[in-house]
Structure 1
Amino acid sequence: GGVSYHDFSGHKGTINTGDVQWLTAGRGVVHAEVPAGQGVQRGINVWINLSAEDKMVEPMYQDLASHDIPTAGEGGVSVKVIAGECLDARSPIRPRTPALCLDVALRPGARLRQHVPRGWSACAYVIDGEAVFGGATASASAGARTLVVFGGDGDCVDVRAEEGHAVAGARVMLVAARPHGETVVRDGPFVMNSREELEQAREDFRHRRNGFEMADGWTSDHAATAVVR
């Protein structure tokens, strides 16, 4: 399976199984996304806030096919490095906001200690299996489809897969990013730093200006699912 996408600037294509699309929405983009292929499809959509100085940059796509995603592994751990660095692998994705995004697969009993800069916001989503977070003094387990949010006072994330006869390991998405320390005001797809900026963005979209000019009269191949970011 996959996802087909199309936006008002003509950028279009299909993200297939294991591929990544990193979209910097910036001043705004209108696009459409629909499932491609048959059967049940799963995907993860992560939003990372832009700083005030980057809010109005031009939209940009960075596509990464599955076979081009850097991978690293050791001791029963396999990591796809979507953004940032892990072990000896570094992603070519260059986020506007410094960020880390890892797709981590752990065999039963395997462990990963991943450095995260102190003060960054960090979370982990358990995709499959059972994962244990923390070290010898304090730990907590989380099952599939569980989001774990970490405090910002540490400098690493410690995760391992449960070990046992009925355990098949774990798969975890680890995401971290540097906070901006700025006010966040959001409404639907619009995310700004003040109520005034938010209303201005809505007006710009409504009147097709300040970046939304190409939305005027645009019709997508997937018009029924067109959304604003």
Structure 2
Amino acid sequence: MTAISTHRTAKETMEGDGVTVRRLMPISGFMNFDPFALWDHFTIQPSNGFPDHPHRGFEAITYVFSGSMNHTDNLGNSSTVNSGGAQRFTAGSGIIHSEMPGEQGETTGIQLWINLPQRLKSIAPDYQQVDALDIPQGNFKHGIVRYIVGQKSPLILQTEVEYRDIQFTSAGDYLTEVSASYQGFIYIAAGQVTAQDKILKTGDALFLSQIQNLSITGKKDARVMFCIGLAHGEKMHQHGSYVD
């Protein structure tokens, strides 16, 4: 089995109501990476955000780096996700929701979409919030790892996914085993790292498949998002806010 890695860089664009995002996918020439359909590294000012809009056919996780995000939806949910917390909604057959930042300062974080397999496209929509203190955290020699999904995280998905926030407090290596049946990527949220003999800086990503062991060498204060999952092997039909 030969490891495959591809270097890509997120493209800055505008989304929602005046929100600046670094978008890894979907972009022209690279729409998705099964099972992942969207990756946005967002910066939202208090006067901007994502007013009511519809979704269907996928699940989404919003993970907040700084600030706070207020969520409302047509299921009757209303909640606030603070720094270090996360929320997941399952759009399924359809949901209408809004995500608006708190009133104090800018809000930053990541939104990730995970495709639902065809057999689950019409499941009932659902919502879950997890506070920062409830996200499992571990230490390695050169920093900390937060397990947003996987490793006993309470956040529940319909797809097998491992999603981590790796923060280097000193320069050094982070080593992890990867299931050979998974594929995904690492994204550099801050700083600089080296992985698979490639130097990656803020906004860069390395897409990975058929990799069983991964070594990331990070500089002090580097922050790496690690996201892998089990591919569905089904074509995604993406139309704006829908994944059919």
Fold similarity call, TM over 0.5:
yes
Change over 3 Å in CA distance of 1:156–1:26 after alignment to 2 = farther
Cα separation, 1, equivalents of 2:130 and 2:83: 11
Matched, 1:124 2:182: no
Query: Does the 8 Å contact 1:107/1:161 carry over to 2?
Result: no
1:113 alignment partner, SS class: strand
Indicate the residue corresponding to 1:153 in structure 2.
210
Whichever structure has more helix as a proportion of its residues is: 1
Amino acid at match of 1:176: I
Matched, 1:43 2:109: yes
Bigger CA radius of gyration: 1
Cα separation, 2, equivalents of 1:131 and 1:120: 22
Cα separation, 2, equivalents of 1:110 and 1:61: 37
How do 1:168-183 residues align onto structure 2 when only pairs under 5 Å count? 168-183=220-235
Query: Does the 8 Å contact 2:134/2:154 carry over to 1?
Result: no
Query: Does the 8 Å contact 2:93/2:121 carry over to 1?
Result: yes
1:67 alignment partner, SS class: helix
Mark the runs of 5 or more structure 2 residues left unpaired by the alignment.
1-66
Cα separation, 1, equivalents of 2:229 and 2:207: 12
Shift of 1:67: 1.0
Question: Pick from 142, 150, 168: which aligns with 1:106?
Answer: 168
Indicate the residue corresponding to 1:33 in structure 2.
99
Indicate the residue corresponding to 1:66 in structure 2.
132
Shift of 1:145: 1.9
Aligned residues: 178
Query: Does the 8 Å contact 1:48/1:177 carry over to 2?
Result: no
Question: Pick from 54, 69, 86: which aligns with 1:3?
Answer: 69
Cα deviation digits, residues 125-171 of structure 1 (max 9, x gap): 1111111113xxxx111111222212x12123221213xxxxx3311
Indicate the residue corresponding to 1:187 in structure 2.
239
Cα separation, 1, equivalents of 2:140 and 2:236: 39
Indicate the residue corresponding to 1:140 in structure 2.
198
1:48 alignment partner, SS class: strand
Indicate the residue corresponding to 1:94 in structure 2.
156
2:234 alignment partner, SS class: coil
Change over 3 Å in CA distance of 1:83–1:143 after alignment to 2 = same
Q: TM-score, normalised by structure 2?
A: 0.69
Mark the runs of 5 or more structure 1 residues left unpaired by the alignment.
163-167, 193-229
Cα separation, 2, equivalents of 1:171 and 1:129: 6
> Which stretches of structure 1, 4 residues or longer, exceed 3 Å deviation after superposition?
none
Query: Does the 8 Å contact 1:103/1:173 carry over to 2?
Result: yes
Amino acid at match of 1:8: N
2:113 alignment partner, SS class: coil
Query: Does the 8 Å contact 1:106/1:160 carry over to 2?
Result: no
How do 1:79-90 residues align onto structure 2 when only pairs under 5 Å count? 79-85=145-151, 90=152
Whichever structure has more strand as a proportion of its residues is: 2
Amino acid at match of 1:172: V
Cα separation, 2, equivalents of 1:157 and 1:100: 14
Indicate the residue corresponding to 1:16 in structure 2.
82
Amino acid at match of 1:72: G
